Copies of this chain bind each other. A is one copy, B any other.
Amino acid sequence: MRPRQHPSYYIDGLRAGDRLVLSRAITLVESQLPADQTLAQAVLEGVLPHLPQTSVRVGITGVPGVGKSTFIEAFGKHLTGLGKQLAVLTIDPTSQRSGGSILGDKTRMETLSMDPLAYIRPSPAGDSLGGVAYRTRETMLLCEAAGFDLILIETVGVGQSETLVHGMVDFFLLLMLAGAGDELQGMKRGIMELADALAITKADGDNIPAANRARLEYQNALHLFPPTDTGWQPPVVSCSALNNTGIAELWTMIETHQTLMNEPAPDGSSAWLRHRQQQALDWFRSLLRQRIEQQFFARPDIANSLAHVEKQVVDGTLLPTLAVDQLMPRFR
């Protein structure tokens, strides 16, 4: 067996913080080849006992044009300036179509990509949304194994990937533009209530008054919405990557949230721990459901009749309950 076919090559390399090994391990995790998948699982199993227990995972989302890369560049520089080891993972559900996300992301964050404390890795969209989440989660673990204790996951706030990313981070930050209108048209309904904080971007130059107005409006609006389970009331801030304003404050806010979440409960647990445990359980259940369904829909008898049955359901000539009875091979 050549070295790169053995889990220890990756496990040792990751624990030593070797970035070349990290990149190769991520490529392994993303590979569709059965042999690579087996190896990837062995690598993940090997690093699991050594994962840091103090990492911070932040999801960042916003519609195209909100300035995500510019924001992450400024935010990332601030974090590495504090000595943080920072990994940035970007999920772009459109990259399959454009085909250019991998080079694109690196050039989008030019300064940060040359920072020795930062590691930037785009996630290709893959063939399913579930697949994106699957690989991004494991990529995140690999980064943590390699010593990156702060993970930023960037996603575009227009589809379903945000809900998945929300399920794998400690803090979910929504970037917004001042002067809603057009921006809101492209935004997914329901996403605002996932956010742990809103940041109005591009609060610089002539745009400062509008950004401040937007900040106040959203602040008033969010007070009318239910707080999160932990009682956290999502704050609204404004910031400028250009002038580097509001960036440090955002990190302080995330630290405050982390402190709150880590307050020990009488039983020794914390909201942070319960949240991570629930996320692991949700991840397991959703993977299991996915696998069960894959097996089911791969059956030739099911695959052949599904489209026909679904057409009748849509046409209103077959009740969904009866459609299920027709499709299920072992009814009652």
Query: Which residues of A does B touch, CB under 8 Å?
Result: 34, 41, 44-45, 48-49, 51, 134, 138, 141, 180, 184-185, 187-194, 217-218, 220-221, 223-229, 276-277, 280-281, 283-284, 287-289, 291-293, 295-296, 309-310, 313-314, 316-325, 327-328, 330, 332
A200 CB to closest chain B CB (Å) equals 11
Closest to A184 in B: B226
Q: What are the nearest 3 A-B pairs in CB distance?
A: A221-B221, A284-B320, A187-B226
A222 CB to closest chain B CB (Å) equals 8
Q: What residues of chain B lie closer than 8 Å to A192, measured between beta carbons?
A: 193, 225-226
Give how many copies assemble into the complex: 2
Closest to A282 in B: B320
Q: What residues of chain B lie closer than 8 Å to A44, measured between beta carbons?
A: 319, 321-322
A302 CB to closest chain B CB (Å) equals 10
Q: When the two chains form their complex, are residues A225 and B184 in contact, meaning their CB atoms are under 8 A apart?
A: yes
Per DSSP, chain A at the interface is: helix
Cross-chain contact of A41 among B224, B313, B325 (Cβ < 8 A): B325
Q: What residues of chain B lie closer than 8 Å to A185, measured between beta carbons?
A: 226-227
Q: What residues of chain B lie closer than 8 Å to A191, measured between beta carbons?
A: 226
Closest to A327 in B: B288
Q: When the two chains form their complex, are residues A310 and B284 in contact, meaning their CB atoms are under 8 A apart?
A: yes
Alpha-carbon gap, A51 to B315, bound state (A) = 13
Q: What residues of chain B lie closer than 8 Å to A295, measured between beta carbons?
A: 328, 330
Most buried by B among A189, A284, A317, A328: A284
Q: When the two chains form their complex, are residues A289 and B284 in contact, meaning their CB atoms are under 8 A apart?
A: no
Alpha-carbon gap, A332 to B34, bound state (A) = 8
Q: When the two chains form their complex, are residues A287 and B324 in contact, meaning their CB atoms are under 8 A apart?
A: yes
Closest to A296 in B: B292
Task: Name 28 A/B residue pairs within 8 A (Cβ), A-sorted.
Answer: A34-B332, A41-B321, A41-B325, A44-B319, A48-B317, A49-B317, A51-B316, A134-B321, A180-B223, A184-B227, A185-B227, A187-B226, A189-B225, A189-B229, A221-B224, A280-B316, A280-B320, A281-B313, A281-B314, A284-B323, A284-B324, A287-B320, A287-B323, A287-B324, A288-B323, A288-B328, A292-B296, A292-B328
Closest to A158 in B: B226
Alpha-carbon gap, A87 to B7, bound state (A) = 64
Q: What residues of chain B lie closer than 8 Å to A288, measured between beta carbons?
A: 323-324, 327-328
Closest to A222 in B: B221
Cross-chain contact of A287 among B188, B316, B321 (Cβ < 8 A): B321
Cross-chain contact of A284 among B49, B226, B313, B332 (Cβ < 8 A): B313
Closest to A63 in B: B226
Q: When the two chains form their complex, are residues A281 and B310 in contact, meaning their CB atoms are under 8 A apart?
A: yes
A297 CB to closest chain B CB (Å) equals 9
Q: What residues of chain B lie closer than 8 Å to A310, measured between beta carbons?
A: 281, 284
Alpha-carbon gap, A330 to B291, bound state (A) = 10
Closest to A279 in B: B320
